[in-house]
Amino acid sequence: MIPKKFDIVIRNGMVCDGTGNPWTGLDIGIENGLISHIAKSIPTEGSKEIDAAGMVVTPGFIDAHVHSDLWCTRPDIHQIRVLQGITTELVGQDGVSVAPVTEETKPLWMKQLKRINGDIGEWPWNSIEEYLAFLEKAKLNGNAAYLVPHGNIRSIMMGFDGREATQKEVQAMQELVELGMQQGAFGVSSGIQYPPCVYANKEELVGICRGAAKYDGCFVVHIRNESNYSLEALDEVIDAARRSGVRLHVSHFKICGGRNRDKLDIALEKLEQGRAEGIEITFDQYPYAAASTFLHAILPPWMHDGGIRRMLERLHDPKLRERAKEEIMDNGEYDNPVRNNGWDNLVIASVASVNNRGLEGMSLQEIAQRKGIDPAYAAFDLLLEEEGEVTIIIHWGNEYDVERVMKHSLQMVGSDGVFGGKPHPRLYGSFARVLGHYAREKQSFPLWEAVRKMTGAPAQLLRLRDRGFLREGYWADIVVFDPNVIVDRATYEKPFQQSVGIRHVLVNGKIAVSNGRLTNAVSGSVIRNQS
């Protein structure tokens, strides 16, 4: 039944509903936070009216990979997300996040993650349930969904030991994943390049995946190697999905380093073959040829055994420094960003102290030249001075390969956005860049296909029942943008420039952005897995 008056009516828009179908001219009536009515024309008035003539109307964008785990509780900082049309974020990424923790592991994770996930002081939670309850009490610009982080549950069971888990420990980790799923997580994440996940063997991956599969969850994974051994790394996670029955989602898919470009087509074929076999496989990608991560990712895996404290102790040891330097230059067995890309392509994004703030935006090659020392020692010294709290941008590829991957039907958009310092431009620009630069300017794919990649596709990944599409009865997470104007403005040199073209954003039926400006609405919510 059509009400006598809607809360909001969006009129005259070119509606892309998230399915990938071409736009249709429709009106949308919103009542009590939900899409109540969609029709060619709605005669009933709205208490608020939005004229979307000449504009595209889509579901709210869902960021499939982002690090807003604590930043989302700071609406004054986090507002840059909803200003881009992002209404839902999937956090708990790369196997390292803020819950679950114990009183023993909590201080370690608080220190390790504050450059990535945000620093809010003490964490008044241990379990995923308690963390999600904390978010529910916070003022959120947008919605948040969570993944069980592999590194957290591993550290609960075995600390940061650099060894393989026993069968008993794998079983206990599987049970912790199941508990996280019961508390509302949508799957399990791992960053098999990062400690402590890097020490896991395939049996451990199969175990945690079984915990997620039991509740129809997904396995969202930063694979063990994105460069020299990327094909073997894909084989590993595809087989873990095959054996566990989990749905596989590869994070920020890419092949790094010019010497590895010939692997890209083979890698995509592996994903397609797994899909043809019956394994549900997807991946996300940010629309840039540069990555962002911890500076300590340049170190060989043995340096991380025991956690950050032990890593810093080793960096003080002259003999171990020399050994690490030699491996950084010569060891291709681990995902080595220096060997694959060079010191001049590793740029400091953020540091913890004011003393080194001037290094943000400089490459490690430039820093080394300024100090008159080897780049490896410049990196080691910086890690010691900042107690490991340094992030970097890694320029790894080229535009042509980025576009090739983006055109693939299994691709969806994830910003991998990291706040702080001089961030990667993907934090401010990813979604507008796909719509403006790729869909409109380069015509890489139709606009409505771009919309599917950032709405319906991630909603399907998470099995969301009432978001990601414009349908009656769904929550009114909606974006209205100008298709002739929308584009990113953020650059590596000036990353804080807001994208243009987003006109209106609704989150749970409340207008969060009106005529390109924030309103006072803070209407985001925590979305829990209902499986």
Cα separation, 456 vs 266, whole angstroms: 27
Cα separation, 200 vs 192, whole angstroms: 7
Tokens of 496: 């804080």
Radius of gyration over alpha carbons of the chain, in Å?
23
Task: Give the bridge partners for 244, in sequence order.
Answer: none
Helix (H) or strand (E) holding 366: helix 364-371
Say if residue 276's pLDDT is above 70.
yes
Cα separation, 348 vs 330, whole angstroms: 22
Cis omega (within 30 of 0) for bond into 337: no
Say if residue 62's pLDDT is above 70.
yes
Task: Give the bridge partners for 351, in sequence order.
Answer: 390
In this predicted structure, what is the pLDDT of residue 114?
86
> At 26, is the secondary structure helix, strand, or coil?
strand
Task: Give the bridge partners for 50, in sequence order.
Answer: 10
Q: Show the 3-state SS of 447-469.
A: HHHHHHHHCHHHHHHHCCCCCCC
Q: Show the 3-state SS of 183-216.
A: CCCCEEEEECCCCCHHHCCHHHHHHHHHHHHCCC
Contact 103, 129 (CB under 8 A): no
Contact 218, 248 (CB under 8 A): yes
Residue 215's identity, in one-letter code, is Y
Residue 374's identity, in one-letter code, is D
Cα separation, 226 vs 237, whole angstroms: 13
| Band of residue 116 on the pLDDT scale cut at 50, 70, 90 | confident
Cα separation, 490 vs 427, whole angstroms: 9
Q: Residue 420 class from Cβ within 10 Å (0-12 exposed, 13-18 middle, 19+ buried)?
A: buried
Q: Please report where in the chains the tokens 């703030």 appear, as a residue.
A: 357
Cα separation, 378 vs 108, whole angstroms: 25
| Band of residue 449 on the pLDDT scale cut at 50, 70, 90 | very high
Cα separation, 390 vs 29, whole angstroms: 47
Q: Residue 376 class from Cβ within 10 Å (0-12 exposed, 13-18 middle, 19+ buried)?
A: buried
User: Which of 161-170, 230-239, 251-260 shows the lowest per-residue confidence on average (mean pLDDT)?
Assistant: 251-260
Per DSSP, 438 falls in state I
Q: Count CA atoms closer than 13 A to 489's CA, side-chain side.
A: 11
- Closest by CA to 321, choosing from 382, 364, 380, 383, is 380
- Closest by CA to 436, choosing from 471, 394, 481, is 481
**Stronger pLDDT, 13 or 340, i.e. the higher one:** 13
Say if residue 1's pLDDT is above 70.
no
Report the largest interatomic distance among the alpha carbons of the chain, rounded to a whole angstrom: 78
Per DSSP, 437 falls in state I
Q: In the chain, pLDDT over 70 holds for what percent of residues?
A: 100
Cα separation, 25 vs 531, whole angstroms: 35
Q: Count CA atoms closer than 13 A to 392's CA, side-chain side.
A: 24
Q: Are strands 346-351 and 290-294 parallel, antiparallel or unpaired?
A: unpaired
Q: What is the mean pLDDT of the chain?
A: 96
Cα separation, 38 vs 470, whole angstroms: 9
Q: Residue 468 class from Cβ within 10 Å (0-12 exposed, 13-18 middle, 19+ buried)?
A: buried
Per DSSP, 21 falls in state P
| Band of residue 340 on the pLDDT scale cut at 50, 70, 90 | confident
Q: Could you tell me the pTM of the whole model?
A: 0.94
Taking only the tens place, the pLDDT of each residue in 395-445 is: 998 999 999 999 999 999 999 999 988 999 999 999 999 999 999 999 999
CA dihedral 413, 418, 424, 430 (to 10 degrees): 20
Contact 183, 217 (CB under 8 A): no
> At 168, is the secondary structure helix, strand, or coil?
helix
User: Which of 177-186, 344-353, 472-481 shows the lowest per-residue confidence on average (mean pLDDT)?
Assistant: 344-353
Q: In the chain, pLDDT over 90 holds for what percent of residues?
A: 92
| Band of residue 3 on the pLDDT scale cut at 50, 70, 90 | confident
The secondary structure of 51-105 as a DSSP string is E-TT-EEEEPEEESSB--TTGGG-HHHHHHHHTTTEEEEEESGGG--S-S--TTT
End-to-end Cα distance, the chain:
30
| Band of residue 239 on the pLDDT scale cut at 50, 70, 90 | very high
Per DSSP, 434 falls in state I
Cα separation, 24 vs 29, whole angstroms: 15
Taking only the tens place, the pLDDT of each residue in 455-464 is: 999 999 999 9
